[in-house]
Structure 1
């Protein structure tokens, strides 16, 4: 499979061939259809003292599951956080950090909702909004705004 990596701070990105990872207990192996390129990742490439695995959020199709996985099976469309190594053809996600992609929602739209959607949901929960109340969003910018 192909994976994106870099060797030094601020250095170029490389596309390398590597083996397909195996899902461990409670994990899913996902064929990536869309990935999120976020400001925190760009900053890490420019500023991290040592190279880090790239990629945080992705959407794709489950191709294998590890022991103990109960919510998903091969063929399911999912989106979630992978905490590195997401800039690849295949990535491993923890079942607990993964959500199903609803019918009719594309992979690009699904991956856009992972981080931004969780932040928005958390903000609404913290504000204790009730049905019928209005929320004003000011100065919205970037994925999280």
Structure 2
């Protein structure tokens, strides 16, 4: 699979080949169809002390599930916050951070709802 990485803070992003990850316990493996580009990602690339995984908000299709997953199965469409690793063809997503994507909602709209929902929650707190 392809994933986006960087080697030094402020350095360029590049695409590299990597093995497809296996979902861990409680995780879904999602084939990413859309990924958010947000200010936290920009800050990680330009300000982080060292390179870390990029891409938090994802939307796509579940391709595999780890042990203990009960709410989703392969073929389901989901969106959620994966705390990095989203800038890739496939990303792990913990079941508790995933939400189903209703029929008729495309992946780009679904991924936008993740960050919007977090902003709304913060405003209510």
Structure-2-length-normalised TM-score: 0.96
Residue 87 of structure 2 is matched in structure 1 by 87
Residue 64 of structure 2 is matched in structure 1 by 64
Higher gyration radius (CA): 1
Offset of 1:116 from its aligned partner?
1.0
Partner-residue secondary structure (3-state), 1:64: strand
Partner-residue secondary structure (3-state), 2:99: strand
Residue 104 of structure 1 is matched in structure 2 by 104
**Aligned equivalents of 1:109, 1:94: Cα separation in 2:** 20
Deviations 1:38-80 (A, max 9, x none): 0111011011120010010000000000000000000000000
1:75 matched to 2:75? The reply is: yes
Offset of 1:36 from its aligned partner?
0.1
Residue 12 of structure 1 is matched in structure 2 by 12
Partner-residue secondary structure (3-state), 1:59: strand
Structure 2: stretches of 5+ with no match in the other structure = none
The alignment of Structure 1 onto Structure 2 pairs a total of residues equal to 125
RMSD of the alignment, in Å? 1.0
Structure 1: stretches of 5+ with no match in the other structure = 127-145
Residue 47 of structure 1 is matched in structure 2 by 47
Offset of 1:122 from its aligned partner?
5.0
**Aligned equivalents of 1:66, 1:84: Cα separation in 2:** 18
Structure-1-length-normalised TM-score: 0.83
Residue 139 of structure 1 is matched in structure 2 by none
Offset of 1:123 from its aligned partner?
3.3
**Aligned equivalents of 1:105, 1:57: Cα separation in 2:** 16
Poorly superposed stretches of 4+, deviation over 2 Å: 121-124
